[in-house]
Amino acid sequence: MWSVAKRWLLHTWLHPRYLAHRELYSIMALEMPRLKGRLLDVGCGRRPYAELAIGVQEYVGLDMPTTMHGTNRVDVLGSAVSLPFDNCVFDSLVCTEVLEHVPEPALALQEFVRVMRPGGVMILTVPLSEQLHEEPHDYYRFTRHSLHYLLERYGLRIQSTYERGGAWLEISYRTSSFLYSWMGATVEPSGSLKPRLLLGPVAVLLCTIIQLLGALLNRIWLVRLSTIGYGVVAIKGE
């Protein structure tokens, strides 16, 4: 019951991590409708952006057997560093908030390029500022420069780069996320958060105020010293 409530709250200011999800969704809503052909979603989880892929003919979701999101919406079980597909079989590829959990991200990018057709389009999102999560499989954070270096190294041409908010948004998101994790919830063995009966609602109220303030400051005084993370659209060379 609580997991269903959390998924509903995810799209409201009452969710302590709403800012991160809002910024990520805005990128996906802009870019995913442009994808065509056969699409691979690496680390698909519950396929939160599948409804946006209105131009694809086939949607293939891949994830690990141990994913904390369950395998109900997973088509193929496998690893990002060893994709169980032939060369050049996908027109589009999506990988959202997965690369930080891969011990060898360069190997994963090599695999992404291998299974994409020439001219194929990839949407990749990564965090820059994020608390530890899904431990112990939480290995990296990426700057714009490291991300560009890795993509270009493996023959991908960067078309667009999106920052997910400025410093005010990043600060308020990190504060809200920390406050809820520390005060408003306990960590389950699976890594998910379970709200505390009494302190949970208080933490949610504080987090809502903090996020609203951060969003307001980000709108009227954009400071580009930091960001929650990045989204990149890249094309495989012909």
Given the candidates 3.40.50.150, 1.10.10.10, 3.40.1080.10, 3.40.630.30, the CATH classification of the domain at 35-165+228-236 is: 3.40.50.150
CB crowding 42-75: b at 16 or more within 10 Å, else e: bbbbbbbbbebbeebeebbbbbbeebebebebbe
- Report which secondary-structure segment, H or E, holds 163: strand 156-163
Mean pLDDT within 81-109: 98
pLDDT at 123: 98
pLDDT at 9 over 80: no
Closest CA to 70 of 53, 52, 99, 47: 47
pLDDT at 68: 87
pLDDT at 51 over 70: yes
* Residue carrying the six token digits 């408003």: 184
The pLDDT mean for the chain works out to: 94
Lookup: tokens for 156: 């991908």
Percentage of the chain lying above the pLDDT 90 cut: 86
Alpha-carbon gap, residue 60 to 45, rounded angstroms: 12
Alpha-carbon gap, residue 229 to 19, rounded angstroms: 11
Percentage of the chain lying above the pLDDT 70 cut: 96
Mean pLDDT within 26-33: 98
Alpha-carbon gap, residue 130 to 4, rounded angstroms: 24
- Beta-bridge partner residues of 158: 234
Closest CA to 92 of 64, 48, 125, 124: 124
Lookup: tokens for 26: 């805005």
Render pLDDT for 131-141 as a digit per residue (tens, 0 to 9).
999 989 999 99
With vertex at residue 107, the alpha carbon angle to CA 62 and CA 92, rounded to the nearest 5 degrees, is 45
Alpha-carbon gap, residue 211 to 8, rounded angstroms: 18
In which band, very low, low, confident or very high, does the pLDDT at 191 lie, cut at 50, 70 and 90?
Answer: low
Sign of torsion, CA 185 190 192 197? negative
